[in-house]
Structure 1
């Protein structure tokens, strides 16, 4: 049994449901993700984000190194974005997320981060880390609001952001 297998299938917050991606999310997934403002700060999502990328994402949810959740409205179950965990053998589990641009500024990101963070804490999955580009003030605020603290200032090695200032934040429970 792995720590990944102890994570809940669904996480409920006041306004959101975090759940596994499904084929029925495909239209919303592509519509929300195919936006350079959404994808630019991510490490690996392709641009343009097309249906084939969405299908591959939905199909890869069983990989042991990654555990994604769709961020969905509790009422209506519409996809707003994605949040997930990346498991590493040599360093703490990493949290990543994105929201469609039209959902920015409504408190959904901190609510989703708190929900997943608390689920991780309940199974002893701490600490959690997150990497964020230093110019991404919105994401930095989300992480600070949810208890993450700066532990390192470095530069990105990801091709899209190579050499750009990068912050590493950690939540220790």
Structure 2
């Protein structure tokens, strides 16, 4: 029997094109750019699962172990063939998929996160998903603004208990998706 998460992963596209971006499955060719962009304390401080310092071996682990796992669907966000970040869904049979993303610091403030996340949201809707979850640090106004722009509503707060954000106050957000 195929799990709900695996079934959703197989219904989602492997490539998504937006007005300015191309979202593709992360591959080894992206590893150096992922390593360079993630090895930045200003990116790391917002992320629950990124080690710091972040090296090439961390990017290679992400590409070989996390990307193909049944629990994730990941897209490299590319602009003019250059990787600028990653967006994806953490998949679970127990709750709605969780939208997550990061951009390299040079790409902040240009609407790329909103554009990429909106494309993944629409792909999830087309694949039959009825709601998405997300979360952001309470003091991460930029990420919370992206999520609000996409129609997510704040539904609560909790203290993170795992990962690199343990002890931080997180805002949980939810977006219901109407069928098209």
Taking structure 1 as the reference length, the TM-score comes to 0.95
Q: Among 117, 139, 158, which residue is 2:162 paired with? A: 158
Q: What's the CA shift for 1:136?
A: 0.3
How much has 1:132 moved relative to structure 2?
A: 0.6
Structural RMSD (CA): 1.1
- Runs of 5+ consecutive residues of structure 2 not aligned to the other structure: none
- Pairing partner for 2:78 from 41, 66, 72: 72
**2:63 equivalent among 24, 43, 58:** 58
| Corresponding position of 2:12 | 7
Partner secondary structure for residue 32 of structure 1? helix
CA pair 22-159 structure 1, distance change in 2 beyond 3 A: closer
> What is the match of residue 168 of structure 1?
172
Q: Answer yes or no: is 1:132 the counterpart of 2:127.
A: no
1:143 matches 2:147: yes
- Structure 1: 5+ residue stretches without partners: none
What is the TM-score when the length of structure 2 is the normalising length? 0.91
CA distance in 2: counterparts of 1:65 and 1:56, whole angstroms = 15
Q: Deviations over 1:64-117 (max 9, x none)?
A: 0011110111x3x11000011111122111011100000000000000110000
Give aligned pairs, total: 171
